[in-house]
Structure 1
């Protein structure tokens, strides 16, 4: 039976059909844990992310699971909520479950690096989003700096000069890179981003990003005269941008006639909100598939595997929420 289940070439076709018929009649389900212990392969890939409230992470997880299934693997999912101790516990637990590999998005705490993360990871691992250079672990990330520059260049090209932007915690590399790219491009265009035009958003896995965007926009606009309102707002992700749009609608500020709004990520709702959101897209499906491909390659090659950092390119997606500055 094991040779049939493992698709061995040593089994003739007639025997294979008899065994498969018996398996179907008996509704036999192999014990994958026991199989993994014998074969030294569990056919499991662990995915550890910060949260699932963020559409980007939820989509990435869905694509990883699909890619794993295509390759005959199952996926285990764990959430660390940006807590380093919980992250370490999840890594330990997944390794006790004999996962063949890990795809890991690090917690934001920089102590990760000084806590010798690699000392307690003993399986093939690919870093997602928050990568660092070493000779052992491969990684894949979106070019967030370039995404920020692309957004700034587009808004400047629409003749916007009084521009606001949102930021999350600057300890998060993707937030930092997006903001620095945005700021640097505006500087190159001869446009200054005023300190008071930087909207700080709360980051808490218990509070959805769109609520943070709504709250930040409300606090930013309260007490400002129409003359003080910028002509464009760039949000550091699409969830926050949707919250900004909601608050602008509440105040009856027309988009994009009075103010343009732009995001980053190209999540599913961007084409459904009104007006549809101009954004910088990241190729989540390609990133997920490449992550799984890298894990499979490392599992197969073992010590011969050469770790690499893959950087994915952003794409400008123009919709209805942006327009030329009219003031």
Structure 2
């Protein structure tokens, strides 16, 4: 992490000049410009900002979401908001759309102050360095839903591996041996764990997973629809009899692809999703899926964050809470029992 000496060396000025700039004291415009440029290039967080974050409460918490339009996140956000409101905090929502550069911009806003802590629900492997830099300032962070492997930070997640395993096992128990998988966002621990659970269940049952049966859906309806059509247009002897989608949103694309090819569910193809979105229990959907306690994840994450905000000057242990999923058996896989 950069220091004032690093800033002074890069800007070609004295440490005292850097201190003047940081404390808004008079200094020539030329030197001020050099110092501010060095601060930006070295991604420096002034000690004064870090001190303010430790001692001043603004009763404002940031929540960073990957896609505000994804129906997975409203329940998660509501859980956070309810606890924030109960404790007198205002919740600010930020939406990254899982796009490169958006997260870094949000981090810049957080570093400027005015925010007491952050719920991060969009954590990806590519964001790990940005998160580390913020953690170096003792800024309170809790990951919700998506964890980051190898990063020592508080988190509240679901057991996505177990969920993937139980969904695949449910299909296997129902007699399916040719099962395809629609995988989600790359770089996400959630997607990776769901896929690992699926593969482990197939391995334990001594079942083959052909490479062409793994399709990338990227959590998008259209990509999942197109991927499912490719699977279903394979020759009859090569076509899977079941498709496990690692999110309900993608499973909706699978269902439409099945219908557009004049096939039946579950007669010709069984479909299983993941998340248990509210629409999955509608009569015209009735999707078998894995329930993730999204509201509870939000509540627990916010409760932990407020604990951290109120204990900033204390050494506290990292807490990683993992909540259990539940298989919701409905009508799209033709198997009545788990």
TM-score bracket relative to the smaller structure:
0.7 to 0.9
1:131 matched to 2:148: yes
2:76–2:296 CA contact under 8 A, matched in 1: no
Structure 1 runs (4+) greater than 4 angstroms displaced: 119-122, 132-135
How far apart in 2 are the matches of 1:163 and 1:307?
38
Change (3 A) 1:198 1:80: same
Gaps of 5+ in 2: 1-51
Describe the superposition over 1:223-259 as per-residue Cα deviations: whole angstroms up to 9, x where unpaired.
x233433211100100000110011111221111221
Cα distance, 1:298 vs structure 2? 0.8
C-alpha RMSD over aligned residues: 2.5
Alignment of 1:123-162 (within 5 A): 123-128=139-144, 129-132=146-149, 137-162=153-178
Task: Indicate which of 211, 214, 222 corresponds to 1:198.
Answer: 214
Shift of 1:66: 2.2
Task: Name the TM-score, length of structure 1 as normaliser.
Answer: 0.79
Alignment of 1:185 onto 2:201: yes
| Structure 2 residue aligned with 1:232 | 242
Answer yes or no: is the 8 Å Cα contact 1:92–1:120 preserved in 2.
no
**Which of 329, 334, 337 lines up with 1:318 in the alignment?**
329
What is the count of residue pairs matched by the alignment? 282
Name the CA distance, whole Å, in 1 between partners of 2:109 and 2:134. Answer: 15
CA apart distance, 1:211? 2.1
The answer for the alignment partner of 1:18 in structure 2 is: none
Corresponding residue number in structure 2 for 1:168:
184
Counterpart contact for 2:104–2:130, Cα < 8 Å: no
Alpha-carbon distance change, 220 to 134 in structure 1, aligned in 2, over 3 angstroms? closer
TM-score (norm 2): 0.76
Q: Secondary structure at the match of 2:272?
A: strand
Contact map agreement 1:238 1:267 (CA 8 A) in 2: yes
Q: Secondary structure at the match of 1:110?
A: helix
Change (3 A) 1:168 1:45: same
More off after superposition, 49-58 vs 70-79? 49-58
8 Å contact from structure 1 (residues 165, 235) kept in 2: yes
CA distance in 2, matches of 1:121, 1:57: 28
One of 252, 257, 280 as aligned partner of 1:270: 280
Paired residue for 2:78, among 52, 62, 72?
A: 62
The answer for unaligned runs of 5 or more in structure 1 is 1-35, 204-208
Aligned to 1:193, the other structure's residue is in SS state coil
